[in-house]
Amino acid sequence: MLENCILLSLFAKENLNRMSERQLNLYDRLINEPSNDWDIYYWATEAKPAPAEFENDVMAMLREFAKNEKREQRLWQPDLEYLFEPPR
pLDDT digits (tens, 9 = 90+) for 20-31: 999 999 999 999
Own/partner contacts of 54-61, CB < 8 Å, gap of 24 or more, are 54/29, 54/30, 56/26, 57/23, 57/26, 58/19, 58/23, 58/26, 58/27, 58/30, 59/30, 61/11, 61/15
The pLDDT value given to residue 6: 87
pTM exceeding the 0.85 threshold for the entire prediction: no
d(CA 68, CA 78): 16
Length of the chain: 88
What does pLDDT average to over the chain? 87
